[in-house]
Amino acid sequence: MSQRKAVTKKKALAYRGADRAGKSRILDELVELNGWHRDYARVALWDALTIRPVRPRNSMPRTYGDDLLPGLIRCWVLLRAPAGKILAPFMPVLVPLLRAEGAIDLTDDQAALLAGISAATIDRMLAGERRRMTLRGRSHTNPGSLLKHQIPIRTFADWDEATPGFVEIDLVAHDGGVAAGEYRYTLTMTDIATGWTVNRSVSNKARRWVIEAIDHAAGMFPFPIRGIDSDNGSEFINHHLLAYCEQHQIAFTRGRAGRKNDGCYVEQKNWARVKELVGYYRYDTPGELELLNRIWDLDDAFANYFLPSLKLKNKHRDGAKVIKTYHQAATPHQRALAHPATRKRPVITMNARSKKLRLGALQR
């Protein structure tokens, strides 16, 4: 349609200054090009150069004024600057919670407006506040050649990813961009079904520290660990971790060699829960190791009980376009409570801990 309009506008300039024979010839050309009726082509040529006045839009009063922006920014910052689609479903819970803690100062009318704000309005109001870091890290995964025939590659038959307890694990290096010397690592363990994530920092990639971190992280989950999936690094593919999993009746699988996206759930948490929080600095002292684990203790409570995230529902390809549909944003705590496989005791444990947590205090 835009090409037809462009051709018509160009022909209209010649049409208005042409004689009778010239106008007839231009009409013939336009009918042949556009497939229009001759009478319609004649009207289109005259209308193409007609200037139409544009009506000004009626000015509507703003529903969300600047007085709500500080409260919205506070909510957004506390949840680590999520997208509007993630923040909006959690606002009816977040606004009363922060008002009760005294973290935001709003009237009842303002609180009602903020609790019902849409995702599009959130993104529009916060457009000027968004800043993103573009730093990139480096990989420190060395392939483990031993036991690959004993540790199977993960398949749909081995795992029930819809059930809580099947986790992915990975290590993040805190080398500060310099791989020389010894520096700290953080083990990240992420449950696929709920997104529940626990971090634990270790002195190095020695098998002893890695297994201790896995054991600690597994104990922090409100439900039992049923399966562990790792990459092919030697810190995971070894006799010690295989024996640990066999002892605790945990299914142990690995991703395909050279396929980084096989661990996509934990890889995403490496950024959102580790690098985004403590940055790309170098941590190599005992004091920094202790501080990192203190940070993870606070962050695990905050992220698992208060930080909503989106989870892919389905996707399909339409030609060259991939269309994705997501579940409504929810916290790992909410997903675990809603899952039919979650037993009564973990629910009681999670709810009891949730009542003791204060969002504002965790973020301080």
Q: Output the pLDDT for position 288.
A: 94
Q: By CB neighbour count within 10 A (0-12 exposed, 13-18 middle, 19+ buried), where does 204 fall?
A: middle
The kind and range of the H/E element at 350 are helix 344-356
Q: Output the pLDDT for position 133.
A: 38
Cα(93)–Cα(89) distance, integer angstroms = 8
For the chain, which ranges sit under pLDDT 50? Answer: 133-137, 143-149, 156-157
Q: Output the pLDDT for position 135.
A: 44
Between the alpha carbon of residue 218 and those of residues 59, 70, 76, 245, the distances in Å are: 57, 39, 30, 11
For 10-62, write each residue's pLDDT tens digit: 777 787 778 888 888 888 888 888 788 888 888 888 887 777 787 777 777 77
Domain assignments of the chain as residue spans, ordered by start: 1-49, 66-128, 166-363
Q: Output the pLDDT for position 234.
A: 82
Q: Output the pLDDT for position 191.
A: 92
What tokens does 40 get?
A: 């319609």
Q: How far is CA 74 from the centre of its chain?
A: 20
The CATH code of the domain at 166-363 is 3.30.420.10
What tokens does 263 get?
A: 């661990």
Q: Are 186 and 296 in contact (CB under 8 A)?
A: yes
Q: Output the pLDDT for position 157.
A: 45
Alpha helices in 35-184 (DSSP H): 38-47, 69-78, 84-87, 91-101, 108-115, 119-125
Residue with tokens 């142990």: 252
